[in-house]
Structure 1
Amino acid sequence: MRQPWWKIWLSHLFEWHIESAPSPLNPHLYVSLKRGRYQLSTAHAVYSFEDLYLNFREAFRQMALERLPGREVLVLGLGLGSVPQLLEQVYHFGGSYTAVERDESVIYLAHKYTLSSLDAPMQVICADAFQWVAMQPPEPAYDLIAMDIFVDDTVPPQFESEVFLEGLRALLRPGGVLMYNRLAVTERDRAATRRFFESAFAKTFPRAVRLDLGANQMLLDSPHLLRKGAEAGR
Structure 2
Amino acid sequence: MLKKLFSYLLPITIYKSKSTISKSIEITWTNGELVMDSKNTNYSYGSLQRILRIGLLKIGFSTIQAMDKALVLGVAGGSVIKTLINEIEFKGKIKGIDIDSRIIDVANTYFQLNSLPNVDIQIQDAFEYVLRCTEKYDLIIIDVFEDTEMPNFLFESFFIHPLAALLNPKGFILFNTMLLKKSDEERNKNFMTHFDLKQYKINAIPRIEMHNELILIQKLH
Which band: TM-score by shorter chain? 0.7 to 0.9
**Aligned-pair identity (%):** 22
Does residue 186 of structure 2 align to residue 195 of structure 1? Answer: yes
Q: Distance in 2 between matches of 1:90 and 1:50?
A: 15
Alignment of 1:15-30 (within 5 A): 15-30=11-26
Q: Deviations over 1:114-150 (max 9, x none)?
A: 134864311110011111111112x5x1111000000
Deviation at 1:218, TM superposition (A): 0.6
1:210 to 193, 204, 211: 204
- The residue type paired with residue 221 of structure 1 is I
Contact 1:50 1:81 in 2 (8 A): no
- More displaced stretch, 65-74 vs 103-112: 65-74
Contact 1:51 1:57 in 2 (8 A): no
Deviation at 1:108, TM superposition (A): 0.5
Deviation at 1:38, TM superposition (A): 2.0
- Secondary structure of the residue that 1:93 maps to in structure 2? coil
CA separation of 1:120/1:202 partners in 2, compared to 1, >3 Å: closer, same or farther? farther
CA separation of 1:83/1:205 partners in 2, compared to 1, >3 Å: closer, same or farther? farther
- More displaced stretch, 108-117 vs 125-134: 108-117
- Secondary structure of the residue that 1:79 maps to in structure 2? coil
Higher strand share: 2
Gaps of 5+ in 2: none
Alignment of 1:1-234 (within 5 A): 5-49=1-45, 53-68=49-64, 70-116=67-113, 119-137=116-134, 141-184=136-179, 186=180, 188=181, 191-206=182-197, 207-212=201-206, 213-215=208-210, 216-222=212-218
Q: Distance in 1 between matches of 2:114 and 2:99?
A: 22
Backbone CA RMSD of aligned residues: 2.2
Q: Distance in 1 between matches of 2:188 and 2:23?
A: 29
Q: Distance in 2 between matches of 1:58 and 1:66?
A: 14
- The residue type paired with residue 118 of structure 2 is P
Deviation at 1:222, TM superposition (A): 3.1
Contact 2:42 2:48 in 1 (8 A): no
**TM-score normalised according to structure 2 size:** 0.88
